[in-house]
Amino acid sequence: MKQKNKIMEVYGLWFADLICIVISFVAATYIRFGNFKDMGDQSVHFLVCLCLLLFGTVYNFFIDWNRNFLKRSLWKEAYAVLKYNAIMILVVTFLMVLVKWADVFSRLVLGYFFILNFFLCLAVHMAIKKFLHTYYSSEQNSVKVMVVTQKDLIDTTLNRLEKELDIYYQVVALVCMDENMIGKEIRGIPVVAEKEDLIEVSTQMALDEVFLSLPDISQNKLEHVIRSFSDMGVNCHYNLELPGMDANQSKVDSFGNYTVITYTRFQSSYKRMLIKRWMDIIGGFVGMLIMFVFLPFVAAAIKLNSKGPVFFSQVRIGRNGRRFKIYKFRSMYMDAEERKKELEEQNEMQGLMFKIENDPRITKVGAFLRKTSIDELPQFYNVFKGDMSLVGTRPPTQDEFEKYNQYYRRRISMTPGLTGMWQVSGRSEIEDFDDVVKYDLTYIDNWSLKLDVKILLQTIGVVIFGKGAK
């Protein structure tokens, strides 16, 4: 997450700065001459603009002047932009004198450019900053953190994290390991657990990462805690290396200016995850277009077959415990949830999932929709929105999630998918929930873009031939 956000900021600001340079240079030229014909040697103007763009690129990546971009106030931002533009003008002017372009290039253009680019760049930076603050503060994009520490270190730890953590981190819970403080709030952050129930409470929380600051508790005693969070798929940051942990699941990192060893089972390039998200956005958009083509016909069939709405929505559990509404074309009668209790003893699945062949709650139209997977077309909206991915794990219901142990919880450490490994492995033949979990964890542990493409191609075959759908 940190690397992905960094790349968004660095490359996004670099691209915005280049656009500002081009706009300001063109505007400055037009203000000076009133047109683009009387500027003299056009090739020199083009080369000067190219030099400005080259300077902007070098300054962004070698000087890294935007490294504290999100934490700069308006006045600090104005000073940084002013300094950037002043150095740019000085360097380019020196270069123009050196290669004797100054004789044929209007100095007024550079003067107008300096003024225009300062205000434009400042305005764009502030707009980007506001957008990123809004983007990072959303439910889906913020990184939810639990802080586990001792009573005498709570204030110190929170002070340091508040000062040093990037804005996309959100401390959502505290745990005090040496005193029962459950129910109290410190700076608006609830104390949710103590030493005895830490893992049990964490299992049911929407949680992405955990930070441990426990110098008075031995590393051996904390090994169980670290392993438990690792089993859940929750990244765990600890400021000292623990003995006995798998080195392949750990990396030296920084967290709020602390030096930590981060233990995580899922290690992948942020660039590949960014490509996966773009695949989801494009696939979700195309899928929604397909859904709108089917919508009039499916809606008419559903309405003629049974009373009730065309769409069905249900709260599901997404990545690391986030709740979201999943959407489908309705394939069951309206009293399906009430009748489920009567049919529970006929459940053909072992474990937490519910499935029976020839389910009496499914309408005639619903049976066709399920057989052809048309009922799942509205989920492309969930994919486009970011609640789901094209390929991932199966999103559990709330009732199912409440019964999860640490092993089961790790299957939601990735964004749930419209399709996945267990769906293309003969989902109607699978009769044990543990087998579903095994497929999901195999997908997580072996994830790659190549695997996603392979599953998508297999899914097309499953949908066309109706394999595994009941």
pLDDT digits (tens, 9 = 90+) for 57-89: 988 887 777 777 888 889 999 999 999 999 999
For the stretch 395-443, pLDDT in tens is 998 888 988 888 889 889 889 999 998 888 766 567 778 888 888 999 9
Mean pLDDT across the chain: 86
Residue 328: per-residue pLDDT: 94
pLDDT at 126: 94
Q: What is the pTM of this model?
A: 0.71
Distance between CA 80 and CA 126 in Å, rounded? 12
Q: How far is 69 from 129, CA to CA, in rounded Å?
A: 8
| pLDDT value of position 140 | 80
> Rounded to whole angstroms, what are the CA distances from 369 to 162, 299, 457?
50, 11, 21
468 has pLDDT over 60: no
The residue-averaged pLDDT of 179-197 equals 90
Write the pLDDT tens digit of every residue in 266-303.
Answer: 666 667 888 899 999 999 999 999 999 999 999 999 99
Lowest mean pLDDT, pick from 136-140, 177-181, 437-441: 136-140
Domains annotated on the chain, with CATH: 2-137 (no CATH), 143-263 (3.40.50.720), 270-465 (no CATH)
Q: So what's the pLDDT on residue 348?
A: 66
Long-range CB contacts (within 8 A, 24+) of 120-127:
120/20, 120/23, 120/24, 121/17, 121/20, 121/24, 121/81, 121/84, 121/85, 122/77, 122/78, 122/81, 124/16, 124/19, 124/20, 125/13, 125/16, 125/69, 125/77, 125/81, 126/74, 126/77
